[in-house]
Amino acid sequence: MSPKVDPFVQHFRASAPYIHAHRGRTFVIMFGGEAVASKDLRTLLYDVALLHSLGVRIVLVAGARPQIDEALARRGADLRFEGDLRVTDDVALQCVKEAVGATRVELEALLSMGLPNSPMAGARLRVATGNFVMAQPVGVVDGVDYQHTGKPRRVDAEAIRQRLDDGAIVVLTPIGYSATGEAFNISSHDVAAATATALGADKLIGLLEGEGVLDAEGLPPSQLTPDEAEQILRSDRDLGHHVERHLAAAIQACRGGVPRAHLVARQSDGSLLRELFTRDGVGTMVTSETFEGVRAAAPSDIGGILALIEPLEEQGILVRRSQEMLENDFDRFTVIERDGMVVACAALYAYPDDSIAELACLVVHPDYRTSGRGDQLLHYLERQCDAQGLRRLFVLTTQTSHWFRERGFENCEPNELPESRRSAYDHGRRSKILLKPLG
Ligand SMILES: CC(C)(COP(=O)(O)OP(=O)(O)OC[C@H]1O[C@@H](n2cnc3c(N)ncnc32)[C@H](O)[C@@H]1OP(=O)(O)O)[C@@H](O)C(=O)NCCC(=O)NCCS
């Protein structure tokens, strides 16, 4: 039996591939003014500081909607929205400047903290803010004059990059400036999407208020393509304004070339770290990339295949295969790769003279079983047999015969195997032989 590993050590080791993968990457992290007002802001910024210390280049985009609403209420001024968009008159612009200014100061103050007994001890973070976002007025739409409400016109990506190169965390707020010297109130989601796109960021991360996008079972779908996300946005489902804006920004950024956008519930402690440092994350990822797929194995998969099959060899479920055997046979393997990890594999050995093939080494990683991956691999290999004109498929198994019988395999005798395989049959192992006619 292998010695017991301390869960802390295990988790820390498991996060190592992500630490390597994230170093030097650029993440744009957007959150609402609710996060700034919350008592959890410190914890969130500790996690941001941690990411920064691991070499992640970070741009924070902070919203200020509740703070602006409060400032307006204090002045007894109207909160005026047309659809999703605030109409920013002179009084509202004043409130925006106040609220955004206060938000920025709050963030800068907390990011400057370095108390010895806090996780920020010794962090000495630099914060950079500035006129990075150029804006233009929304103008008059359907007869409504949006006045000082604007939209991003251009993001000075070069200037932001320079600050990131200097090791600073860049903080952006929902204000942009025009060539005429005016300030405009812009949506923080638009700022985040435009900035992530202009920077060619590796990720846009949205920290959601509430639970976010939930599927029929009440869980966040772990992955959506931009098209699927758009269908959700267009459906009748009421996601709430905040989630809808985050989802729209994620779609916009993905279509603008950002490889992955993540939506994570802010209020769940450590969700940002769990999303970034565990394989399956905790939120929803919007991406056009193939996160999981079936494909032919490559030599670089040999380590992953060995890691998958070794525990089963130790239990006697699979026949032992050396690394050398795998190096010779890797091209017979098909794998399912999930975010860079081999989570399932199977090998196909064809006997064309007898129009038959052996399915061997079918393994799904224990964490990913009972989700149809075994079936998926079997169907994939059956189609390959079909393409190669192989009419029957057999498998030798000691403990999994029922799984195969439920999928159309039937017991058969060694004499039904091709001659060369029959002579190599290990009678001591007493494997059951199961055969399935194809087509
Ligand atoms: C057999 C195996 C590949 C199935 O993978 P999977 O991705 O879980 O398969 P699927 O999701 O398509 O099917 C899951 C179903 O198979 C059942 N199943 C799993 N192992 C089984 C076994 N040994 N006997 C009978 N049924 C089994 C599960 O209970 C589940 O049934 P349910 O849908 O009624 O709940 C996987 O369990 C595995 O890797 N086992 C160890 C290796 C092995 O025995 N390989 C075969 C020898 S070559």
What is the percent of the chain with per-residue pLDDT over 70, rounded to a whole number?
A: 98
- So where are the chain's domains? 7-289, 293-437
For ligand 1, mutation pick of 309, 367, 370 (most atoms within 8 Å of CB): 370
Is residue 47 over pLDDT 80?
A: yes
Query: pLDDT category, 216, cuts 50, 70, 90?
Result: low
pLDDT, tens digit (0-9, with 9 covering 90-100), for 233-272 = 888 777 888 889 999 999 999 999 999 999 999 988 888 9
Q: What is the position in ligand 1's atom list of the atom closest to the CA of 378?
A: 12
Question: Which of 216-225, 371-380, 382-391 bottoms out in mean pLDDT, i.e. has the lowest?
Answer: 216-225
Q: What spacing in Å lies between the alpha carbon of 100 and ligand 1's midpoint?
A: 56
Question: What pLDDT score was predicted for residue 68?
Answer: 94
Render pLDDT for 328-381 as a digit per residue (tens, 0 to 9).
999 999 999 987 889 999 999 999 999 999 999 999 999 888 889 999 999 999
| Candidate from 332, 335, 369 with most ligand 1 atoms within 8 A of CB, to mutate | 369
pLDDT for residue 73 is more than 90? yes
The string over 398-407, giving b where at least 16 C-beta atoms fall within 10 Å of a residue's C-beta and e elsewhere, is: eeebebbeee
Rounded to the nearest 10°, the torsion over CA 290, 296, 300, 303 is 100
Model confidence at 292, pLDDT cuts 50, 70, 90, reads: confident
Least confident of 46-55, 128-137, 166-175, 267-276: 267-276
Do the beta carbons of residue 74 and residue 98 sit within 8 Å? no
Ligand 1 in reach of 398 Cβ (< 6 A): no
Atom of ligand 1 at shortest range from CA of 400: 23
pLDDT band of residue 35 (cuts 50, 70, 90) is very high
Ligand 1 centroid to Cα of residue 376, in Å, is 12
Closest atom of ligand 1 to 344 CA is 39
Tokens of 120: 């920020």
> When comparing pLDDT for 428 and 33, which is higher?
33
Task: Return the amino acid letter for 113.
Answer: M
Report pLDDT for 158.
Answer: 97
Confidence of residue 2 (pLDDT cuts 50, 70, 90): low
Pocket flag, ligand 1, residue 401 (CB < 6 Å): no
Cα–Cα distance for residue pair 351/120, rounded to 1 Å: 63
CB of 84 shorter than 6 A to ligand 1:
no
pTM of the model: 0.72
Ligand 1 atom 13: the closest Cα is on which residue?
370
**117 vs 312 pLDDT, higher one:** 312
Burial (CB < 10 A; 0-12, 13-18, 19+), residue 314, is exposed
Q: Is 367 in the pocket of ligand 1 (CB under 6 A)?
A: no
Q: 283 to each of 58, 272, 275, 338, how far by Cα in Å?
A: 19, 9, 6, 16
Name which of 20-24, 111-115, 273-277 the model is least confident about. 111-115
pLDDT tens digits for 151-193? 999 999 999 999 999 999 999 999 999 999 999 999 999 999 9
- Tell me how far apart the alpha carbons of residues 88 and 73 are, in angstroms, rounded to a whole number: 14
Lowest model confidence (mean pLDDT) among 40-54, 171-185, 208-222, 330-344: 208-222
The answer to whether the CB of 375 is under 6 A from ligand 1 is yes
Nearest CA to ligand 1 atom 4: 374
In degrees, rounded to 5, the angle at the alpha carbon of residue 289 between the alpha carbons of residues 208 and 297 is 135
For the Cβ of 363 lying below 6 angstroms from any atom of ligand 1, the answer is yes
Q: Superfamily assignment of 293-437 in CATH? A: Gcn5-related N-acetyltransferase (GNAT) (3.40.630.30)
Task: Give the pLDDT of residue 314.
Answer: 92
What is the overall mean pLDDT for the chain?
91
β-pairing, 284-287 vs 260-265, is: antiparallel
**Is residue 1 predicted with pLDDT exceeding 60?**
no
φ, ψ for residue 292 (rounded to 5)? -140, 135
In this prediction, residue 117 has a pLDDT band, given cuts at 50, 70 and 90, of: confident
Ligand 1 atom with least separation from CA of 398: 47
Write the burial class of residue 186 (CB in 10 Å: 0-12 exposed, 13-18 middle, 19+ buried): buried
Query: Measured between alpha carbons, how far is 35 from 41 in angstroms, rounded to an integer?
Result: 6
CA distances from 321 to 314, 328, 401, 418 (A): 11, 11, 21, 21
C-alpha pair distances (Å), 320 with each of 133, 209, 280: 60, 51, 30
DSSP result, 131-190: S-EEEEE--EETTEE-BTBEEEEEE-HHHHHHHHHTTEEEEE-SEEE-TTS-EEE--HHH
For residue 154, the model assigns a pLDDT of 95
372 Cβ below 6 A of ligand 1 = yes
Answer whether residue 420 shows pLDDT above 70.
Answer: yes
**Which pLDDT score, from 0 to 100, does residue 241 have?**
82
Residue 347 beta carbon below 6 angstroms from any ligand 1 atom: no
Q: Please choose, from the candidates 279, 203, 273, the residue with its C-alpha nearest in 3D space to the C-alpha of residue 14.
A: 279
Task: Please state which CATH class domain 7-289 belongs to.
Answer: alpha beta
Average pLDDT rounded to a whole number, residues 19-28: 94
Mean pLDDT over residues 217-231, rounded? 83
